[in-house]
Structure 1
């Protein structure tokens, strides 16, 4: 496997570990994130909250929800870079066949597992989950499995990819990305004005399309050998510090995902172009482990929540100590990593293989036709 693809897998590993740590903190501390800024509105009223709660919110794992942001950036990067690299004409049938067989069969198994073990939340919840539309209303947003909202969002962003290509052909990649960013800022501004406080609105495709498009923009620059970030890595550290400090202001809950997407494309650009440093056997082993976590990241994401809460509560119920909490999180992660090893090889890989075989047979049929869109 090319080194840059291994590095993408490492970044996937980072993304799933961020998400996993975030959900683990929710299991231990409950809803620790601070979204009520009180009378000041613009920044946190520090007198109203315990210092530990504020500090946890500013840590990388406290901001672990941004792991989903990183996943979306990586998705946009890989899909658009892969399309450009193939040099082929965009075919709707081929694109959606690949996306369906990569995502849906393992997702369907997970939906059935959680529906049978924990309940569906009602017919509407089950129907919307099966059609990947449950993220469009708060009634079904967190039912069956709270993590599944981002998978529905991802599917909807796939539907928008042909639109992205049409805009790119007319406007160019830069103006297209800026236009999608302007759409996100506009919709967020309207939501701030009308204050709906609805998850399905705040985490909607118009708001988060830019996150995916930023990854696609990076993918195009990478394909053409162009750099986005050419500064010292110290600037990345500075950017991250500023983003961490933004958690005590109204900026983070409103613009956090958009700002983090900009940070992530700079980080990815630096990491993908960084010369491989001399490393020890231990360093190479950690790199391989992180890459393997990235390979299994979809399965870990599918199956870890909400059973993660029950496992952590079981492991920590007799001993209330932070060391025990940390060991419980590590033990739970090892358990889901082991499960993901089997689901990756038994669900994900066969699903992709079946999809390729079925699509090839369909394309060989005499009557097979598919609409095409030039790049």
Structure 2
């Protein structure tokens, strides 16, 4: 892949973390809810809702949770594209999992310790011990009790690593039944899960909603796009106007309960696939906003790791100085200042933690490989 296209994925990461960060900010400010979820005969009703709630319901950043979908699509694309470039039928799983481990786990581990013990000793109770251990082994998204504990953002780190472990299965299915059929299988798994949740409401719980079975299709869509892009084949042929209309249809769909409850995640994933493909084949030059997003994207992982636990504290701190109440201008300035604080911390983490961790992983793996070759 050309260097300019790799940079574009940093832009996309920057957009993804801004979406997630904005969603968490809105959730911290508007604690009573950021959107209307009242329906009559399956159609959204704004009767009795305040003007700000109507605005937030159709405000794009209120759907910042979709930033996680974008992160997963980017991950699927880049990992599979890297595999395709090696032009081999066999995945070196040891090398693959080593690189992924050192990329995400050491920064995560340090943040896990910080957030686990910052407000007390989490190990003082048996539940706390299990909570900590489930996070340590990246299994916490399998438990309703621990999915959103310690640091709510951590749930997707467990999901991400579980998706890495499923990559060999994806390659196996791709070889046996083909790429399209593999996507259909993953889609079927996600749809089947939704059907079971309709039939058995008891299954509507965080550990299932945030499970790898729900999000495997999202990750695979990124891999699917990578393969199409690698072979210079288009998934969609859509122009800028068409893309804007497709995003508009997302907000139309939001007016219907069935779409909102069962289809919204898949739909936004397909919209991201369309957008990324359009971006790759119609690449505008990287302007100043683009370069800014590149820098944010480089630090996006660290921003994701650290921002949520202390977000409310910082919001309350800045609100102390807003004697005239919360206005749009003041709130926007607060948002920017808070983001800058997290960005500066994350930038240091990227330089002094993330990059050295990746280098250490290479050294460790090379030594292991060298030692094994000497024993043979």
Residue 145 of structure 1: CA displacement?
0.3
1:74-98 Cα shifts (integer Å, max 9, x gaps): 1100110111012243111111101
Q: Is 103-112 or 313-322 further displaced after alignment?
A: 313-322
Instruction: Write the distance in 2 (CA, Å) between the matches of 1:352 and 1:8.
Output: 19
1:177-214 Cα shifts (integer Å, max 9, x gaps): 11111111111121122223311111211111100000
Instruction: Write the distance in 2 (CA, Å) between the matches of 1:195 and 1:257.
Output: 19
Instruction: Write the distance in 2 (CA, Å) between the matches of 1:118 and 1:262.
Output: 41
Determine helix, strand or coil for the equivalent of 1:132.
coil
Residue 241 of structure 1: CA displacement?
1.1
Residue 257 of structure 1: CA displacement?
1.4
From 310, 335, 339, give the equivalent of 1:307: 310
Given the alignment of the two structures, is residue 47 of structure 1 paired with residue 47 of structure 2, yes or no? yes
From 287, 297, 301, give the equivalent of 1:298: 301
Q: Is 234-243 or 214-223 further displaced after alignment?
A: 234-243
Given the alignment of the two structures, is residue 336 of structure 1 paired with residue 342 of structure 2, yes or no? yes
Residue 249 of structure 1: CA displacement?
2.3
Residue 141 of structure 2 corresponds to: 135
Instruction: Write the distance in 1 (CA, Å) between the matches of 2:222 and 2:39.
Output: 35
Alpha carbons of 1:325 and 1:115: their partners in 2 closer, same or farther (altered >3 Å)? same
From 311, 317, 320, give the equivalent of 1:317: 320
Gaps of 5+ in 1: 278-282, 370-375
Alpha carbons of 1:368 and 1:24: their partners in 2 closer, same or farther (altered >3 Å)? farther
1:67-122 Cα shifts (integer Å, max 9, x gaps): 00100111100110111012243111111101100010000011011112135471
Residue 299 of structure 1: CA displacement?
0.5
Gaps of 5+ in 2: none
With structure 2 as the length reference, what TM-score do the two structures score?
A: 0.92
Instruction: Write the distance in 2 (CA, Å) between the matches of 1:284 and 1:313.
Output: 34
| Contact 2:225–2:235 (CA under 8 A) maintained in structure 1 | yes
1:332-359 Cα shifts (integer Å, max 9, x gaps): 0001110111000111001100001111
Alpha carbons of 1:90 and 1:153: their partners in 2 closer, same or farther (altered >3 Å)? same
| Contact 2:76–2:220 (CA under 8 A) maintained in structure 1 | yes
Determine helix, strand or coil for the equivalent of 2:238.
coil
Residue 51 of structure 1: CA displacement?
3.5
Instruction: Write the distance in 1 (CA, Å) between the matches of 2:68 and 2:133.
Output: 24
CA-based RMSD of the aligned residues comes to 1.8
From 192, 210, 222, give the equivalent of 2:198: 192
1:1-375 matches, within 5 Å, as 2-34=3-35, 36-37=37-38, 40=41, 42-88=42-88, 89-119=90-120, 120=122, 122-196=128-202, 197-250=204-257, 251-277=259-285, 284-319=287-322, 320-321=325-326, 322-366=328-372
| Contact 2:26–2:34 (CA under 8 A) maintained in structure 1 | no
Residue 166 of structure 1: CA displacement?
0.4
Residue 31 of structure 1: CA displacement?
4.6
Q: Hey, which bits of structure 1, 4+ residues long, moved more than 6 A?
A: none
Q: How many positions carry a matched residue from both structures?
A: 363
With structure 1 as the length reference, what TM-score do the two structures score?
A: 0.92
1:309-346 Cα shifts (integer Å, max 9, x gaps): 11011101342222221111100000111011100011
| Contact 1:32–1:57 (CA under 8 A) maintained in structure 2 | no
